[in-house]
Amino acid sequence: MSAGGLFSACSKSAPEFRGVDITGADYARDFALPDQNGQMRSLKDFAGKVVVVFFGYTQCPDVCPTTLQELAQVKQSLGADGDKLQAVFVTIDPARDTPELLKAYMANFDPSFIALRGSDAQTAAIAKEFKIYYKKVDGQTPTSYTMDHSAGSYLFDPAGRLRIYSRYGSGPDAVAADVRSLLKEAT
């Protein structure tokens, strides 16, 4: 083995993520919204955990339930480290997504998952901070509208730093691998 090989084997290399490494990004720094139980939440509430933040709405027919189901699978696949994962769902439809509805919706996936719900102005502000696109699409009746929205998730490391953007469709195995990398890095 060459001397260069000896030194490189001892150096700590940067983790290779399956999602997009956005370490050092100057957006999606924090949130401050009430959860489905009315408790104000921010990133610091989840110190020591990998936090996955996802934006959506309860009446979403595909992307939102798929993502939340995958996050439940990720948590389960982590075994004993499952309690070190916190899923945070931010509604982009506060008009229909009442706290009661959000409680029931989150319970369908995992009782530890939380949902955040702000006013229209708070929702617009957090969407801007996280660079999230969303738009109401009128339906046949005033209450049958849908919402177009960004579909990826943001992963924060246990120290609360934004690290990874996980594209929709990456699958639970890729997200679980990234969560494990962030947890390993924190030890």
- Residues placed in the known binding site: 60, 64, 149
- CA-nearest of 58, 21, 12, 26 to 185 is 12
Helices (H), the chain: 3-10, 63-77, 99-107, 120-129, 172-186
Binding residues for Cu cation, by number, are 60, 64, 149
3-state secondary structure 13-41: CCCCCCCEECCCCCCCCCCCEEECCCCEE
Per-residue tokens: 88: 């945070």
> Distance between CA atoms of 79 and 37, rounded to whole angstroms?
27
